Amino acid sequence: MLVETYLGRVSPLECDHLGHMNVQFYVAKVSDAAWHVMTSIGITPVFIRQRRQAPAAVKQEIAYLKEVLAGDLLRMESGVLEASERKITFFHRLTKIETGQVVMTSKVFTVNMDLDARRSAPLDAAVLACAQARLLPEGTA
Amino acid sequence: MSAPTFVTGRGAINPWECDQWGHLNVQFYLAKASDAQAHLAARLGLMPSRLRSVAGSLMPATDRALFKRELRAGDIYFIRSGIRAVSADGTLEIASRMVNQETGIESAAFETRLRWVARDRTTPLPWPDDVAAAAAALAGELVELQPPPPMAQVLPVRQQMDRLLLTYRGSVEAWECDADGVAPPRAHIARFNDAITHLFRAMKIDRAELFASGLGSAALDYDISYHRPLRAGTAVEIRSAMLAVSDKVYHLVHYVLDSASGELITTIVVAALFFDLAARKSVAIPPAVRAEAHRLIAENS
């Protein structure tokens, strides 16, 4: 299931000398979206603060499909592609509001991390069950 | 029946947007509200490509921002917006509410009046017909976004600026500005944020000592008037005055001035308070601070 995870605008500050949004800011928007998609499976801000664990990115694949310019309005939708005992793979799709064009897709491979031990840890059982119940259909990515 | 509202923003709070007091700094509230307004404008037909190609431009005339609950690093939010009215003077009255998505608690309320102006960002223009029609169709009572009560009547009498405290001096840089070299609301707010530290100094408050004593400072309410565009390359200064002080809340005014011409660029009246950094609750203004506030008020009167 895809959920809306980001709704914003390209700032002139995010654009480079090629006249479009620099790649680092696609990743910044994926990062903001990540907190929302995590919340959709139970890893809320309060959960992270209290349970001291959260998925940490270990690998990312990005397809830059269209350039976006300063002032463009963007929307991210995100969901879960895979979930296992310690790992979740998230999918993000960034769309330009004006044209409806998909401008970026990304897969983020994560490992659940204990924020005190700074080591991998099993996912909470309820979170894992929720993630597995909300898996995106095959072929989404 | 309520006029429609729309989700116009969604995101997360990052640590680099938070200040010494451990919460989202005021300038980023206004930045996120500006982005939300752009999404609302798109619903009226003012899509980004059109805004780049037409002879008109959006310009805020006034902003009211009420900070109700703090947002902290890691929080997620959404913004909902609607149109109250297109007023007789041609300003578009927009309401937005920023909500902590996890708790559902409203964090901030924004009431903004936008104008349609020429490329000089000053000369008023009539709204394009299709935009005016779209705005009229969407405007009305916003049941979910009730208007806030007016700010306490502490509006300042214009005084000789050079008699007021100089609380900021700097310049506007291109990287703070839109593509046409005009600074958005965030850049104004960033300067107010700097100015308050200098006003504190005039009140014999050291921010580090305040922090060490377990107290923080927070804005409650902003009432902003944008008189002229703030442009890249402009040398600016802020003159500030204390207006009123009560048990918990104090009011002050900042004037942003063009240092070269002396022209007034922005006026903001601020209501602010002190809070307990551990309990995250407001506290009575410390007696010594209140005494200094009264001294400043007396000096300005």
Task: Print the domain residue range for B42.
Answer: 1-149
Confidence band of B301 (pLDDT split at 50, 70, 90): confident
Q: B237 vs B207, which has greater pLDDT?
A: B237
Q: Cβ contacts (< 8 Å) between A36 and chain B: which residues?
A: 10, 12, 76, 101
Per-residue pLDDT of B175-201, as tens digits, reads: 999 999 999 999 999 999 999 999 999
- Of B149, B184, B215, the domain-final residue: B149
| pLDDT for res B1 | 81
- Of B108, B126, B149, the domain-final residue: B149
CB distance A73–B179 less than 8 Å?
A: no
Residue ranges of B 135-194 with Cβ closer than 8 A to chain A: 175-179
Q: Cβ contacts (< 8 Å) between B185 and chain A: which residues?
A: none
Are B108 and B7 part of one and the same domain? Answer: yes
Residue B156 has pLDDT above 80, yes or no: no
Confidence band of B155 (pLDDT split at 50, 70, 90): low
DSSP code per residue over A2-53: -EEEEEEE--GGGB-TTSSB-HHHHHHHHHHHHHHHHHHTT--HHHHHHH-E
The answer to whether A69 faces chain B, any CB pair under 8 Å, is: yes
- Of B120, B149, B178, the domain-final residue: B149
Are B54 and B36 part of one and the same domain? Answer: yes
Are B101 and B11 part of one and the same domain? Answer: yes
Confidence band of B158 (pLDDT split at 50, 70, 90): low
Nearest to A48 among B14, B52, B74 (CB): B74
Predicted TM-score of the model (pTM) = 0.95
Per-residue pLDDT of B69-123, as tens digits, reads: 999 999 999 999 999 999 888 899 999 999 999 999 999 999 999 999 999 999 9
| pLDDT for res B161 | 86
Q: Cβ contacts (< 8 Å) between B14 and chain A: which residues?
A: 31-32
**What are the extents of the domains in chain A?**
3-133
Class in CATH terms, A3-133? alpha beta
Confidence band of B159 (pLDDT split at 50, 70, 90): low
Q: Cβ contacts (< 8 Å) between B7 and chain A: which residues?
A: 4, 7
The answer to whether B272 faces chain A, any CB pair under 8 Å, is: no
CB distance B38–A71 less than 8 Å?
A: yes
Are B247 and B136 part of one and the same domain? Answer: no
pLDDT in tens, chain A (141 residues): 999 999 999 999 999 999 999 999 999 999 999 999 999 999 999 999 999 999 999 999 999 999 999 999 999 999 999 999 999 999 999 999 999 999 999 999 999 999 999 999 999 999 999 999 999 999 888
The answer to whether A5 faces chain B, any CB pair under 8 Å, is: yes
The answer to whether A50 faces chain B, any CB pair under 8 Å, is: no
Strand partners for A57: A110
Are B262 and B222 part of one and the same domain? Answer: yes
Are B140 and B43 part of one and the same domain? Answer: yes
Per-residue pLDDT of A55-94, as tens digits, reads: 999 999 999 999 999 999 999 999 999 999 999 999 999 9
The answer to whether A139 faces chain B, any CB pair under 8 Å, is: no
The answer to whether B27 faces chain A, any CB pair under 8 Å, is: no
List Cα–Cα distances, A114 to A2, A38, B12, B49, B196, in angstroms: 27, 15, 21, 45, 40
Question: What is the 3 state secondary structure string of B129-195?
Answer: HHHHHHHHHHCCCCCCCCCCCCCCCCCCCCCCHHHCEEEEEEECCHHHCCCCCECCHHHHHHHHHHH
Residue ranges of A 73-132 with Cβ closer than 8 A to chain B: 73, 97-98
Are B144 and B218 part of one and the same domain? Answer: no
Mean pLDDT of chain A: 97
Are B125 and B25 part of one and the same domain? Answer: yes
Q: How many other CB atoms are found less than 10 A from the CB of residue B101?
A: 20
Question: What is the 3 state secondary structure string of chain B?
Answer: CCCCEEEEEEEECCHHHECCCCCECHHHHHHHHHHHHHHHHHHCCCCHHHHHHCCEEEEEEEEEEEECCCCCCCCEEEEEEEEEEECCCCCEEEEEEEEECCCCCEEEEEEEEEEEEECCCCCECCCCHHHHHHHHHHCCCCCCCCCCCCCCCCCCCCCCHHHCEEEEEEECCHHHCCCCCECCHHHHHHHHHHHHHHHHHHCCCCHHHHHHCCEEEEEEEEEEEECCCCECCCEEEEEEEEEEECCCEEEEEEEEEECCCCCEEEEEEEEEEEEECCCCEEECCCHHHHHHHHHHHHHHC
* Tokens 């491979």 found at: A109
Per-residue pLDDT of B30-84, as tens digits, reads: 999 999 999 999 999 999 999 999 999 999 999 999 999 999 999 999 999 999 9
Are B167 and B301 part of one and the same domain? Answer: yes
Tally the domains of chain B: 2
CATH number of residue B253's parent domain: 3.10.129.10
| pLDDT for res A54 | 98
- Say how many CA atoms lie within 13 Å of B202 toward its Cβ: 21
Residue ranges of B 76-105 with Cβ closer than 8 A to chain A: 76, 78-79, 101-102
Q: Cβ contacts (< 8 Å) between A98 and chain B: which residues?
A: 42, 47-49
Q: Which of B7, B39, B79 to mutate to test the interface with A (most CBs of A within 10 A)?
A: B39
The answer to whether A52 faces chain B, any CB pair under 8 Å, is: no
